[in-house]
Amino acid sequence: MGVDKPDVLPGSLALMVLRTLDTMGPMHGWGLARRIEQMSGAVLALNQGTLYPALLRMMQLGWISAKWGTSDHNRRARFYAITRAGRKQLATEARNWERMSAVIARFVRPGETS
Amino acid sequence: MKPRLLLARLWGLVGGRRLGRELDDEIAFHLAQEARLYQARGLSEDEAYQAARRRFGNLTATRERHRETGGMPAIDVLLQDFAHGVRILARQPGFTLVAVLSLAFGIGVNTTVFTLVDASLLATLPYSAPDRLVRLSAVPASAPDARDSASVLEYQTWRDGNRSFAAVGSMIGGVFPRNVGTGQDGVPPERITTQGFSAGMWQVLGVEPLLGRVFTADEDRVGMPPGVIVLSHEYWQRRFGGDPDVLGRTITLMNEPVTVIGVMPPGFGREFYGPISAWTPIGFTPTNVESIVRYLTVVARLRPGVTVEQAQAEMNGLAAGFAERYPERNRDWGVAVDRLQASLVGDLRRPLLVLQGAVGLVLLIACANVAGMLLARGASRQSEVALRHALGAGRLRIAGQLLMESVPLAILGGVVGVGVAWLGLHFVFVVIPPIPALDDASLDASVLIFTSGVALLSVVVFGTMPAVQGSRPDPSRVLNESGRTRTDDGRRQRLRAVLVAGQIALAFVLLAGAGLLINSFARLQANELGVDASGLATFDYQFSVEESMTPVGQYRDVGLWEVSPEVERSFERVYERLKQVPGVLAVAGANRPPLRDGALEMEVRIDGSDRVADTGSTPPISAFYYGVTPGYFDTLRIPVLEGRAFDETDRATTRPVAIVNQAMADAYWPGENPIGRTLRLTFVPEEPSREIVGVVGNTRVSRFDTQPPRILYVPYLQHTRQWQGPAWWDRMRMAYVVRTAGDPMRLAQAVRRAVAEVDAIHPAADFRTVEGDLGAETQGLRAQMILFGAFGGLALVLASVGIYGVIAYSVAQRTREIGIRMALGAPAGGVLGLVAGQALGIVLVGQGVGLATALALTRVLASTLWGVSATDPVTFASAGVVLFGAALCACLVPARRAIKIDPTVALRTG
């Protein structure tokens, strides 16, 4: 595990999970973890264990739902799917992130401000 | 927190285990998938699994965070602490038993007394909008807290002059026993309790009859003869078998025909003076209206929106106007508006609140016990607490844990306490006299809520101090497992000593209170009554006003009545017949029963002088008046000291005579023989001069008289023919007394039959023993004495347990020290002194504080006490001695243990 890989920013994990579920459809926890790592181009160190409490919390908030089903290899697995509230949340969070990253970008490269 | 999240978390709290299992399944799946990936890259199964585990991160942390997210951490922790508390209790059954029993008794007696308070002081009357029902009373300006009934004119003025009330009604204060039925009218003769109601009463209470109708305003009018009757549900069922055709039937009441017009629903009217069999209109005559006698209980219903205070203000104005219009009768009289419920339980209020206060003290003592035990246990848990501190737990967290551990104790105490309360309530009902207001007392929902509240409160009371003390950080403990931290132990011991001293103080207060009541009761029992009550029975034989009297005018502001001579003739016939009843050793009669119902007080003028001979002082102006049959002194065993008793020769036509008791002789003719002197009463216009023919021993008029009152006896046949209206009862009724060997109640049947032979209409009613009457009067004091005594005893036991605990613990702690002392040659007496000295200090401080508290508090008992002051030094000293003795006994066991300490063993193990 690379020492210099940054941790996943708080809050961003939810955004990633929601986006993944929105585009890929229902997935189990391991699939989500792999997918997020892939998407980040292995830049982010996802402590896989942290995913599960986050999923529980998102369920409590009603953004995702979960259902037990069977995986590709015929094993019992829990599948998560985005809910309508989750899609709304995704839209809000995505907007926030874009705004936020724009602001941060200005701090990071001050010379480029218009 | 958002409601949705709260709900989800609460659900998580419940389903915590399931959530955990699901997570484990999920993690297992995750790791398997991950491991497959590594295996595909060529790692062995084991290596692949290890890699997957590394990739996943800290498993325990994940589970922990998952659980925290899923449930509610704070509550989770509380539940853990609670469970921990339960485990600790289960591990220490001895500790648990003593603590739970202490709390159970404390909580139980509180619950018992609260049950009574709830049933009476907090009850609501079973009428619509009961909070709008008020009682109106006449109040003398000199005693604003006193409440008197109302005269008819007052009642009418209040009823007609107000704007505050939707309705005003009146009833006759107290119940009327009246003879009903003659046999010929299909109703067997019996005496039932009736009550006079004005038509307004039904409006005020807002209760519809079950059948028929109630009185109309017409039947309430002055001069209207009361020819109607409304039956209670109970009487209707019992005498008429619930026949609806009873409406319109004519029955005989006190020899007058009355028509049944209605039947009330079950239980109606019971709150006022107990169960009533029937209601009749009060039936005001013009004489009643003019009378100044206050005999009406006035009840009113406030108009919606009108407060008691507003009504009071209006009534004040009304009363002032009334007093102005009738200064001679109503100067210095006002009106009080009180909530009806409060006025109905007025007499019970104080004793009940005093009892509630007393059991509150018992609970405090119990809590102090448990607090002391927890403090001692805290010492044994110092290592555990220190470890927690060392591991980073905050003091608040640890105190919280210790406090939470007390909760299962309180819950157990509460549950067992309900059992104690249930037993207590049964005990109370054996002890207390029957009081209508307490009939409904039961362990209902509101009582159980109270119990839960008390149990929770007790946690705060007994748990806080040990929790604060127990959570004190003490790092040395971890580092030095075997060493003693003397400072902390010392602090604990001091706290316990303070707690025990407090227990002693509270127990002293309760014991002093119990002692005062016991002392009062004993003195009351020993009160020289002057009458031999054993073997005496009494009953009433009674006419109605209509049968026995006719109004003849006014005298001294009250109605004057002429008594029919037929009444005395009937009295004489019954008297003569009773002499023939087998088993009757002696028989007599008087206008009042012995030692009950008080007596008629009359003004006395000594003929030929306004002054007592020689002494020059003004004689007392009054004496109690009894009209008695021959044989009265003999039957009651009142000694005749001078002259003679009345006999058959003292008749209406012979010279009027009188007999005085010793107290009256001493007051009017000190040092002289009163025989042959004459005196005159001023009760009615034509009073004869009466010659004193005898002096008899002193008797009490009431059980509660401390001094023998002055009493004047006249032959009943020499009552004046005219009589003052308010004192009707003294001429309508004869209270016969019969003496027999053995149980007087065995005579009841024979006496009833004998009276029925002479008079078919007027029965021998209310046959009872005189001793029973005497007991009934002291029941209230007796009940308070027993309850207070029980609470005082409980306090004594609890405080003894407390002092035992602290001394036993101290001896255990000082085993090594005592061992050294004994090894160095200290005598057993010295060791004993060491232990006893410590106990003595605590007890003396506790008693001192208790004495000061008791001096301030026992005043609340003053109105209940008889013949004893509320700060009676003898009683207080006795309470101190009892408490001291109990404390000494409690120290005996640990003290014996102390002198039995084997120095060699103590030194080796200590």
Distance CA B27, CA B695 (A): 108
Average of pLDDT values for A61-90? 87
Token representation of residue B902: 């084997």
Q: Is B243 contained in some domain?
A: yes
Whether residue B482 has pLDDT greater than 70: no
| Partner-chain residue, chosen from B33, B55, B70, that has the shortest CB–CB distance to A56 | B70
pLDDT at residue B655, as a whole number: 94
Distance CA B29, CA B450 (A): 53
Contact B29, A28 (CB under 8 A): yes
pLDDT tens-place string over residues B664-716: 998 888 888 899 988 888 888 888 999 999 999 999 988 888 888 999 999 99
Distance CA A69, CA A77 (A): 5
* Contacts with A56 from chain B: Cβ below 8 Å: 19, 66, 69-70
Q: Is B757 contained in some domain?
A: no
pLDDT at residue B386, as a whole number: 80
Give the end of a domain, one of B346, B378, B413. B346
Per CATH, the number for A12-107 is 1.10.10.10
- Amino acid residing at B701: V
Q: Is B761 contained in some domain?
A: no
Q: Which has the higher per-residue pLDDT, B6 or B888?
A: B888
Distance CA B589, CA B635 (A): 9
pLDDT tens-place string over residues B606-639: 865 544 444 445 556 788 999 999 999 999 999 9
pLDDT above 70 as % of chain B: 93
Distance CA B132, CA B271 (A): 16
Give the end of a domain, one of B312, B346, B380. B346
Say whether the ipTM exceeds 0.85.
no
| Partner-chain residue, chosen from B9, B29, B62, that has the shortest CB–CB distance to A30 | B29
Is pTM, for the whole model, over 0.90? Answer: no
- Preferred mutation among B1, B19, B30, B60 to probe A, highest tally of A CBs within 10 A: B30
pLDDT at residue B792, as a whole number: 93
pLDDT at residue B762, as a whole number: 85
pLDDT at residue B669, as a whole number: 86
Give the residue extent of every domain in chain A. 12-107
Using 50, 70 and 90 to split pLDDT, how confident is the model at B760? confident
Average of pLDDT values for B111-124? 85
B626: Cβ–Cβ under 8 A, 6 or more apart, which residues?
B590, B591, B592, B599, B632, B711, B712, B713, B714
The torsion region of residue A25 among left (phi > 0), alpha (psi -120 to 50) and beta comes to: left
Whether chain B has a CB inside 8 Å of the CB on A70: the answer is no
Q: Which has the higher per-residue pLDDT, B217 or B50?
A: B50
Q: Which H or E element spans position B641?
A: strand B640-643
Residue B296 sits in the same domain as residue B423: no
Number of alpha helices (DSSP H) and beta strands (DSSP E) in chain A: 4, 3
- For B54, the domain range is 3-71
Contact B363, B107 (CB under 8 A): yes
Give the end of a domain, one of B299, B326, B346. B346
Stated length of chain B: 910
Residue B443 sits in the same domain as residue B589: no
Cβ distance of B57 and A50 shorter than 8 Å: yes
- Preferred mutation among B33, B50, B67 to probe A, highest tally of A CBs within 10 A: B33
pLDDT at residue A3, as a whole number: 39
B17: Cβ–Cβ under 8 A, 6 or more apart, which residues?
none
Residue B519 sits in the same domain as residue B546: no
Distance CA B320, CA B358 (A): 43
pLDDT tens-place string over residues B636-660: 999 999 999 999 999 999 999 999 9
| Partner-chain residue, chosen from B8, B27, B65, that has the shortest CB–CB distance to A60 | B8
pLDDT at residue B33, as a whole number: 86
* Contacts with B30 from chain A: Cβ below 8 Å: 29-30, 33, 48
CB atoms within 10 A of CB B217: 11
Contact B338, B311 (CB under 8 A): no
Residue B589 sits in the same domain as residue B677: yes
Q: Is B79 contained in some domain?
A: no
Distance from CA of A104 to the nearest CA of B (A): 30
Q: Which has the higher per-residue pLDDT, B499 or B376?
A: B499
Angle between helices B770-813 and B346-380 (to 10 degrees): 20
pLDDT tens-place string over residues B338-389: 988 888 877 788 888 999 999 999 999 999 988 988 888 887 777 778 877 7
Q: Which has the higher per-residue pLDDT, B8 or B766?
A: B766
pLDDT at residue B504, as a whole number: 93
Residue B477 sits in the same domain as residue B564: no
| Partner-chain residue, chosen from A53, A71, A78, that has the shortest CB–CB distance to B66 | A53
Residue B729 sits in the same domain as residue B813: no
pLDDT tens-place string over residues B791-827: 999 999 999 988 888 888 888 878 888 888 888 888 8
E-assigned strands of chain A?
27-28, 64-70, 76-82
Whether residue B741 has pLDDT greater than 50: yes
Bridge-partner residues for B281, per DSSP? B197
Cβ distance of B66 and A56 shorter than 8 Å: yes
Distance CA B322, CA B320 (A): 5
Using 50, 70 and 90 to split pLDDT, how confident is the model at B151? confident
Smallest CA–CA distance from B1 into chain A, residue? A61
Bridge-partner residues for B491, per DSSP? none
Distance from CA of B84 to the nearest CA of A (A): 27
Q: Which of B235, B226, B234, B231 is nearest to B188 (CA)?
A: B235
Q: Which of B514, B409, B372, B464 is nearest to B803 (CA)?
A: B372
* Contacts with B33 from chain A: Cβ below 8 Å: 30, 71
What's chain B's average pLDDT? 85
Q: Which of B868, B758, B235 is nearest to B512 (CA)?
A: B868
Whether residue B404 has pLDDT greater than 70: yes
Smallest CA–CA distance from A2 into chain B, residue? B55
Residue B365 sits in the same domain as residue B332: no
Using 50, 70 and 90 to split pLDDT, how confident is the model at B727? confident
CB atoms within 10 A of CB A104: 10
Distance CA A8, CA B594 (A): 99
Q: Is B553 contained in some domain?
A: yes
Q: Which of B224, B219, B204 is nearest to B261 (CA)?
A: B219
Residue B195 sits in the same domain as residue B282: yes
pLDDT at residue B4, as a whole number: 66
How many beta-carbon pairs below 8 A join chains A and B? 67
- First and final C-alpha spacing in chain A: 40
Distance from CA of B23 to the nearest CA of A (A): 8
Distance CA B106, CA B798 (A): 9
Look at chain B and report how many structural domains it folds into.
Answer: 4
Average of pLDDT values for A45-54? 79
Half-sphere exposure of B860 (CA within 13 A, CB side): 20
Q: What is the DSSP string of B333-344?
A: EEEEEEEHHHHH
Distance CA B165, CA B158 (A): 10
Cβ distance of A60 and B5 shorter than 8 Å: yes
Cβ distance of B65 and A76 shorter than 8 Å: no
- Preferred mutation among B4, B56, B59, B60 to probe A, highest tally of A CBs within 10 A: B56
Whether residue B252 has pLDDT greater than 60: yes
pLDDT at residue B126, as a whole number: 82
Smallest CA–CA distance from A69 into chain B, residue? B26
| Partner-chain residue, chosen from A49, A71, A73, that has the shortest CB–CB distance to B56 | A49
Q: What is the DSSP string of B668-681?
A: HSTTS--TT-EEEE
Q: Which of B768, B827, B814, B846 is nearest to B910 (CA)?
A: B814
Residue B506 sits in the same domain as residue B556: no
Residue B379 sits in the same domain as residue B438: yes
Whether residue B1 has pLDDT greater than 60: no
| Partner-chain residue, chosen from B2, B25, B65, that has the shortest CB–CB distance to A76 | B25
pLDDT tens-place string over residues B297-310: 999 999 999 999 99
